[in-house]
Amino acid sequence: MFLIDLSILFGISISTLTILCIVLGIVLMPPFYLILLALEKTLLVAQWAGFSVIRFILLVFRSLQRNLLRTALSYMAIYVLVSVVVMIWSVLSFLDGITTEKQEDFKVLITEKFQIPSQMPPSYEQRLLSIIDELPPEYRMKNGEMDVMTWAFVGGTLDPTKQTFENSIFFFCMQPKKFPTMMSGLEEFTPEEMAELNRLIDLMEKDKKKVVIGTGRLEKLQKKVGDRFKMVSLNYKDLEFEFEIVGTFPKGSRYDESAVMHRDYLYDTLRDYEKRTGMPHPMANKCLNLIWVRLPSKEAYSALAAKANESGSFSTPAVKVETESSGVGSFLDAYRDLINGMRYMVVPAILATMALVIANAISITVRERRTEMAVLKVLGFTPGMIMMLVLGEALLIGVLAGGMASSVMCVLTQAQGGVKFPIAFFPAFKVPYEAISWGIAIGAATALAGSLLPALSARRVKVSEVFSRVA
C-alpha cells in the first residue's frame, strides 16, 4: 500500500524527464552554438600551424552554419533522446548495482514466502536466533545480536478525518541502537551528522515515544523538533500513538522522507490494546515485516537458509531466506517485464529514432548540396573525402549534443545529491560520471549510423550528372 507502483513512477518519470530535457535542450541551445563557435575560432587559430586537416574540420564547422534551424533541430533531437537514454541506462545500471551480490558482509533478508508485505509473528526473531546458534561459529554474526534487526512498518495520519499525503507518515519500526550498524547509506553522513544521529538514538532508547523524522517529511507535516503529536495508525486499526520529535535526518540524505520509531513502543501499544479490549489485536501476531541478519559470508548465508528450511520452525507462515540483493531482485521481479521493456524496447526505439532523425536531416543536407559535392569532386576531393565531410557534420552534432546532454544530466543529479526513489530502502540515484562518455558515445554512434546512407549517397554523386542537370 505504501509502495508506489514502479510502473506508474517510471511512466511519470519518463514523461517529466522528456519535458525537462526539451526545456533544458532549448535553454542550452545558445551554449551549444557558443561551443561550436569557440571550437571554430580555436581551429581558426590552430590552422595557422599549417595542418591541412584543420581546414577540412573547419569546413565541417562552416557547413553546420548553413542552415541554423536544421542544425538546431538535429541538436535538440539528439539532446533530448540522449538525455532520456542516459537516464534510463543510469536507472538500469543502478538497479543492476543493487541487485548484484556482494562477496562478503552479506545482509540476509527473512520475509514471508507467499505474501508481500510480510506479516510474520514476532516470535520468529527468537526462533531465527536459535537456529543461528546452531550454526558453526565461523558462520555466525560477528557482532552477535547487533547484526540482527527486525522491521515493522507503521503508517498513519495526524488527521484521520481528512487524511492527506502531507499529514500522513510512515515509520520504520525498529531497534534504534541497531540503526547505525545495520542501515545503509550512513557513509554519506558527515562526522557531525553521525554524532547527532548517535545522540538521537540514545534519546530514543531512553524514551520509546521519541522519534526521528526526515527533514523533508517534517516540513510536509508542518512540525518541528520538540513538537509532540498523535498519530492514528492506518495499518494497525484502532491504535493511536503519541510521539515526540527529538531530531531529524539530514536534509538531502536518503532518509529525508523517512521516520523511525522504537519497536518496543509498537509492542507496548499492542499489549495495551489487549488489556483494554480483552483480546489481542488482529495484527499482534503479524507485526514482524522483515528481519535483517548480517552474516560473514555467502557460505554462512547458504547454511542459514538450509537450516531455516529444514527446521520446521517457520511453517506458519512459511518464510524465505535470501540475500539483500536477491531480495531487491525479488521485489523488482514484478517489474521485470517493465525493466526488460525499457532495456530492450524503449532504449533501442529511442536510438533508432535518433538515427532516423539524423538520417533525415543529413539526407536533406546532402540533397541540397549535391552540386557543392560535385564541385568538391571536380576540385579533386576523392569520394572518401566527401563521405568524411558528411559523416563529420553528423558526428560533430552527435558528439556535442550527446556530451552536453549527458554532462548536464550528470551534473544536475550529482549536485542535487541524487534523485530519490520513493521506496524507502533504495539509495538516492545519481547519473554516474561515466555516463558523460556514454552520452558522447551514443551521440556519436547514432549520428554515424544515421548519416551513413546519406554519406554514401554523397560519395556516389556523379559530377557529370549533376552539372548536366544544372545546365
Q: Which is nearer to other proteins, 228 or 367 (CB)?
A: 367
With CB under 8 A as the contact rule, the residue among 35, 284, 356, 375 that binds other proteins is 375
Q: Please tell me whether residue 312 binds other proteins under the rule CB under 8 A.
A: no
Q: Which is nearer to other proteins, 228 or 462 (CB)?
A: 462
Hey, what amino acid is at 30? P
Instruction: List Cα–Cα distances, 420 to 153, 257, 271, in angstroms.
Output: 20, 9, 36
Question: What is the closest distance, in whole angstroms, from the C-beta atom of residue 35 to other proteins in the complex?
Answer: 18
Q: Which is nearer to other proteins, 226 or 384 (CB)?
A: 384
CA distance linking residue 279 with residue 276, whole number of Å: 8
Per CB under 8 A, the list member of 59, 68, 306, 334 interacting with other proteins is 59
Nearer to other proteins by Cβ, of 1 and 471: the residue is 471
Helix and strand element counts for the chain (H, E)? 17, 9
How many Å apart are CA 243 and CA 227, to the nearest integer?
Answer: 8
| Rounded (10°) CA dihedral 171, 175, 178, 180 | 40
What is the bridge-based pairing of β-strands 259-262 and 168-174?
parallel
Task: Find the angle CA(370)-CA(371)-CA(375) to the nearest 5 degrees.
Answer: 120
Kindly provide the residue ranges of all beta strands, DSSP E only, lying in 280-427, ordered along the sequence.
290-297, 319-323
User: Taking the complex as a whole, how short is the minimal distance between the CB of residue 460 and other proteins, in angstroms?
Assistant: 10
Q: How far is the CB of 467 from other proteins (least distance, A)?
A: 7
Q: How many residues bind other proteins (CB under 8 A)?
A: 31
Q: Which residues between 430 and 469 bind other proteins (CB under 8 A)?
A: 462-464, 467-468
Residue closer to other proteins by CB (options 61, 243) is 61
Asked if 69 interacts with other proteins (CB under 8 A), we say no
Amino acid at 297: S
379 binds other proteins (CB under 8 A): yes
Q: What are 130's three cell numbers?
A: 536459535
* C-alpha to C-alpha distance for 192 and 338, rounded to whole angstroms: 41
Segment interacting with other proteins (CB under 8 A) among 62-70, 164-172, 405-413, 439-447:
62-70
Rounded to the nearest whole angstrom, what is the least distance from the CB of residue 379 to other proteins in the complex? 5
Let me know: does 138 contact 300? Beta carbons within 8 Å: yes
Residues that bind other proteins (CB under 8 A): 47-50, 52, 55-56, 59, 62-63, 65-66, 371-372, 375-384, 462-464, 467-468, 470-471
